[in-house]
Structure 1
């Protein structure tokens, strides 16, 4: 898959273009990409996706907490798995934000040599998001490209959306998030040094500094797994503020991996969150916490039994 970071100076080869924010690359986004892939195959051209960097919301609302579901790196990996041929990562500037809907079409879509556009029903573009899918269809007739507008994708009668997935994660409902995403949600970051208190409790942890702008699920204990140094390892993750040891403390993400011992400081890690086991609690005595951790470990192993075997097989086959 080709990643293009500079706006083409001349006409590109023809493509079908999928437009959207694609935060989460959830089942609704996947359906849109599948539609684009079908159109590209029918027309004998490549399927492309257009993304902006930084994300338009970060430029327009720098004070806002973003709460994204996926990193750009994860988005690109998922695009590749779905058969996307090109990803345009176009710089988003204040000038770009002030572009009119027709200017967006003339200065971007036409130059990308788009023959067919695929967008969701609520896609907006141009200054103040004034442009609508209906506008794209009208401009398509004028500038010579077709437009497919996908209607809301639903699951069990509910619309699949990034907003619904964020709500599920903030409620700690990983199973709902998994159904809407079509895969297990992952939390990505860098392993950093912590207080090393887990070692004293008999449960050494990897402290995950979650990448900026990613949404962190509800505080509590989770059954998780990750690929660490080429092997799939199970573990339990705590998201919280260490109330047993501190009156006030920053939100931390700590993972204790079972049957793994190694120095992974500085490693970029994606932790896959299968289920939330319990809420965060404050314990009056350290021994109570230790006993609870033992119960947590047993429950996590029970919940993960069989779940990661398919990932072991997949890893072995690569």
Structure 2
């Protein structure tokens, strides 16, 4: 898959998917899959246009929109689906002030679009005046087709980035995972902390996350990460250390089981399987240690069950393949 940061010198016929694709959730995947179906039908490649930073961060910075995924994660998911080229363009105030007609003429047509795929609520152009009806009209004018996908639902619930953000803010990992179609993750750089966990026998990797990304509700979670190409299990605490501080910034700390090594300065991604409990203040170190033992046992129980289920599914697939 190619990633381009500018418009091409020559038009190359394509089906183009438009959107922000934050999280690349199940709704996004259906849109991209439909785009791929159209590309195959028309004998061209599927391309995607995304902007950086997220347009809402430029247009409404006061809203403080938190993102679900990095650009690199979005690109990986798109490559898996079969996208040919991603146009990764800067979103500036100049771009924000571009009229819907200019957006089509100066951006879409130079990309060589013969078919465009958008969601029902896609907006474009100055003040968001462009909508799905207008892009269909402009498609007729300029000779490209348009597919408008309606809202995708799961169990009667609309799949959207905002609903996933709300689920994570409430600590509902199961709901967030089901809407995403994959586990929610946190990513950041391992930094030095107070090293209190080491003194208590539970050394932690303190993860500095970007202010751009959403941190789930405070509490304790069962998690895993891939370190040096190996899956490492652990438990994560998101909180303000109320047992030791009256006021403290929210921190993300991960205690990895059966791991030894220096992670300082490394970028890691932590995948969240399940929320175990709320954050709470303990009456001293001994009470905290007792709870940490329970947390450790609970996290291992959750992760072991998931691993057993994955191993069982893998064995079943291998058996079915052998019997064919």
> TM bucket by the smaller chain?
over 0.9
Partner residue in 2 for 1:7: 7
Partner residue in 2 for 1:234: 233
1:306 offset after TM fit, Å? 3.7
1:280 offset after TM fit, Å? 0.2
Which consecutive residues of structure 1, in runs of 5 or more, have no partner in the other structure?
none
Partner residue in 2 for 1:27: 26
Partner residue in 2 for 1:209: 208
Secondary structure of the 1:111 match is helix
1:61 offset after TM fit, Å? 2.6
Secondary structure of the 1:226 match is strand
**1: CA distance, partners of 2:257 / 2:54:** 37
Contact 1:189 1:268 survives alignment (8 Å): yes
Contact 1:4 1:89 survives alignment (8 Å): yes
Give TM-score scaled by structure 1 length. Answer: 0.95
**2: CA distance, partners of 1:184 / 1:140:** 37
**2: CA distance, partners of 1:282 / 1:116:** 56
Partner residue in 1 for 2:196: 197
**1: CA distance, partners of 2:219 / 2:281:** 11
Q: Following superposition of structure 1 onto structure 2, how do residues 160-199 of structure 1 map, counting pairs within 5 Å?
A: 160-199=159-198
**1: CA distance, partners of 2:176 / 2:53:** 25
**1: CA distance, partners of 2:228 / 2:287:** 33
Partner residue in 1 for 2:85: 86
What are the superposed Cα offsets for residues 132-190 of structure 1, whole Å, 9 maximum, x if unpaired?
A: 11111100011110000001101111111111111110111100011000111111111
Q: Following superposition of structure 1 onto structure 2, how do residues 107-122 of structure 1 map, counting pairs within 5 Å?
A: 107-122=106-121
Partner residue in 2 for 1:104: 103
**1: CA distance, partners of 2:129 / 2:213:** 27
**2: CA distance, partners of 1:259 / 1:168:** 31
1:63 offset after TM fit, Å? 3.7
Secondary structure of the 2:231 match is strand
Partner residue in 1 for 2:17: 18
Contact 1:116 1:147 survives alignment (8 Å): yes
Q: Following superposition of structure 1 onto structure 2, how do residues 1-318 of structure 1 map, counting pairs within 5 Å?
A: 1-8=1-8, 10-308=9-307, 310=310
Contact 1:199 1:205 survives alignment (8 Å): yes
Secondary structure of the 1:28 match is helix
1:308 offset after TM fit, Å? 4.0
Contact 1:190 1:211 survives alignment (8 Å): no
Which consecutive residues of structure 2, in runs of 5 or more, have no partner in the other structure?
315-324
**1: CA distance, partners of 2:306 / 2:188:** 23
**1: CA distance, partners of 2:259 / 2:103:** 51
Contact 1:12 1:113 survives alignment (8 Å): yes
Secondary structure of the 2:61 match is coil
Which has the larger displacement, 62-71 or 88-97? Answer: 62-71
Secondary structure of the 2:273 match is strand
Contact 1:232 1:308 survives alignment (8 Å): no
4+ aligned runs moved over 3 Å, structure 1: 308-311
**2: CA distance, partners of 1:265 / 1:81:** 31
Contact 1:225 1:308 survives alignment (8 Å): no
1:62 offset after TM fit, Å? 3.1
1:91 offset after TM fit, Å? 1.5
**1: CA distance, partners of 2:170 / 2:62:** 24
